[in-house]
Amino acid sequence: MPDNDSATPERVLTRSDGLDLSTHQFRYYDFVMAAFVAILLLSNIIGAAKLTYWEIDGEQWVYGAGILFFPLGYVIGDVLTEIYGYARARRVIWAGFGAMLFMAFMSWVVVSLPPADVWDGQAAYESVFGQVPRIVFASIVAFWAGEFVNSYVMARMKIWTQGKALWSRTIGSTIVGQGVDSMIFYPLAFWGVWDSTAVLTVMVTNWGLKVLWEALLTPVTYVVVGRLKKAEGIDVYDDNTSFTPFKTDLK
């Protein structure tokens, strides 16, 4: 893997240059935030409710269809932390958290509305959008914890590696962040509902597939990070950032 230095422009500004990030004009931060929130909501609407499988030697390896979306969300999360720093990534995570809460509430409202006599899609609608509160709670808690752990590990490793070996940060943060996400979501959502073996199998399989996805997408991450750093003209190191997740300011 190439070092991160090869993916960045020759000259970018950092905090050591006296750059005031609170007033710096970012060109693409809002677009990255929108992409993150969109993928997060789509993963829960389209992917979370369906289980599918790969057949290997006649045996089914079950995994959630959300695997198609979650890795992209983590890649964007890595890009946010790498380019814009932990504090701005934290704001995006809270934005996604709020969007998930609103989606869950409005899904409950819409499913609860009485169906018209001329419409026969209520059962199908309930099966997709009428998730039980337990699953919604598990999904929101797992997302919140996993994303903050991912961003924290990413920011800390950038300092430890002095900005080199981007691949080690993206994969390492995903191993830890997705591990936390999976260990929270599947037991909270399905323990006692599915067979315990199925819960553990899906949990470990999904975690492994997400990490594999992240590794396979590493070249894409390098391209995106390199181009965005050049466009934004910054390279943020969180030397003096407060890493508490319970705030939304930029310090």
| Tens digit of each residue's pLDDT, the chain (251 residues) | 445 444 443 344 454 444 566 667 788 999 999 999 998 888 777 766 677 787 878 888 776 677 777 767 778 888 999 999 999 999 999 999 999 999 889 888 988 999 999 999 898 888 777 776 788 888 899 999 999 999 999 999 999 998 899 999 999 999 999 899 999 999 998 888 888 898 998 899 889 988 998 899 899 899 999 999 888 888 888 888 889 999 888 77
* Torsion 97-100-44-30 (CA) sign: negative
Q: Does some domain include residue 244?
A: no
Residue 250 lies in a domain: no
- Is 154:169 a contact under the CB 8 Å cutoff? yes
- With respect to residue 248, please indicate whether it lies within any of the assigned structural domains: no
Q: What pLDDT is stored for residue 23 in this prediction? A: 64
Contact 226, 7 (CB under 8 A): yes
Domain residues for 46?
A: 4-232
> For the chain, what is the domain count?
1
Cβ contacts of 175 within 8 Å, gap of 6 or more: 211
The pTM (predicted TM-score) of the whole model is 0.83
pLDDT of 22 reads: 62
Is residue 238 one of the residues assigned to a domain?
A: no
Rounded to whole angstroms, how far apart are CA atoms 150 and 51? Answer: 25
Torsion sign (Cα): 62, 65, 69, 70: negative
**Spatial distance between the Cα atoms of 143 and 126, rounded to a whole number of angstroms:** 23
Question: Is residue 137 situated within a structural domain?
Answer: yes
14 neighbors 96 (Cβ within 8 angstroms): no
130 in a domain, yes or no?
A: yes
Length of the chain: 251
pLDDT in tens, 197-206: 989 988 998 8
Classify residue 129: in a domain, yes or no.
Answer: yes
Of 21, 174, 201, the C-alpha closest to 12 is: 21
Domain CATH for 56: 1.10.1760
Contact indicator for 69, 38 with CB cutoff of 8 Å: no
Any domain includes 79: yes
